[in-house]
Homo-oligomer: A and B are copies of this chain.
Amino acid sequence: MKATIKDVAKFAGVSVATVSRYLNHSPLIAEASVEKVRQAIEALDYQPSMMARGLLHGNSKTIALAIDDSNTETYGNDFFLKIQYGLEHELTRNSYYLMICHVGTGVDAVSTVRTLIHENRIDGLVLLSEMAHGELLELLRESQIPFVIAGRSQEEGTLWVDIDNIEAGHRATERLLQTGVDSVGFLTNSFDKMFVSERFQGYCNALEAAGIEKKDCYISDGLVSPEQIAAYVETHKDILCEAYVASDSTIAFYFLRELYKRGIRIPEQVQVIGFDDSVLAAAADPAMTVVEIDVTKLGVSAAKLLMKQLQATELRPGQSLLPVGIIERASTK
Residues of A within 8 A of B (CB): 2, 45, 47-52, 54-55, 60, 62, 69, 76-78, 80-82, 84-85, 88-89, 92, 97-102, 104, 107, 112, 115-116, 118-121, 253-254, 257, 278-280, 283, 285
Contact = CB atoms under 8 A, between A and B. Distances in A.
B115 A88 contact: no
A146 to B, nearest CB: 16
Given A77-B81, A279-B280, 8 more contacts: A45-B118, A47-B118, A50-B121, A51-B120, A84-B100, A89-B102, A92-B102, A99-B99
Given A76-B279, A98-B99, A51 B47 contact: no
A47 B119 contact: yes
B98 A100 contact: yes
Contacts of A101: 88
Copies of this chain: 2
In the A-B complex, list the 8 residue pairs whose CB atoms are closest, starting with the nearest.
Answer: A47-B118, A50-B119, A51-B55, A51-B54, A88-B102, A77-B81, A98-B100, A49-B120
Contacts of A60: 51
A150 to B, nearest CB: 16
Tell me which of A76, A82, A92 has the highest count of chain B C-beta atoms within 10 A of its own C-beta: A92
Nearest to A59: B51
Contacts of A278: 279
Contact of A69 (B85, B99, B104): B85
A92 B120 contact: no
B47 A55 contact: no
Contacts of A49: 55, 119-120
A72 to B, nearest CB: 8
30 contacts: A2-B118, A47-B115, A47-B118, A47-B119, A49-B55, A49-B119, A50-B121, A51-B51, A51-B54, A51-B119, A69-B85, A76-B279, A77-B81, A77-B82, A80-B81, A84-B102, A85-B102, A88-B100, A92-B102, A92-B112, A97-B99, A97-B116, A98-B99, A99-B99, A99-B100, A100-B100, A279-B279, A280-B280, A280-B283, A283-B283
A333 B208 CA distance: 52
A179 to B, nearest CB: 25
A101 B47 CA distance: 19
A48 to B, nearest CB: 7
Nearest to A54: B51
A119 B48 contact: yes
Contacts of A89: 102, 104, 107
A47 B113 CA distance: 13
A193 B15 CA distance: 54
A121 to B, nearest CB: 6
Contacts of A55: 49, 51-52, 55
Contacts of A283: 253-254, 280, 283
Contacts of A82: 77
Contacts of A88: 100-102
Contacts of A50: 119-121
A100 B48 CA distance: 21
A121 B96 CA distance: 12
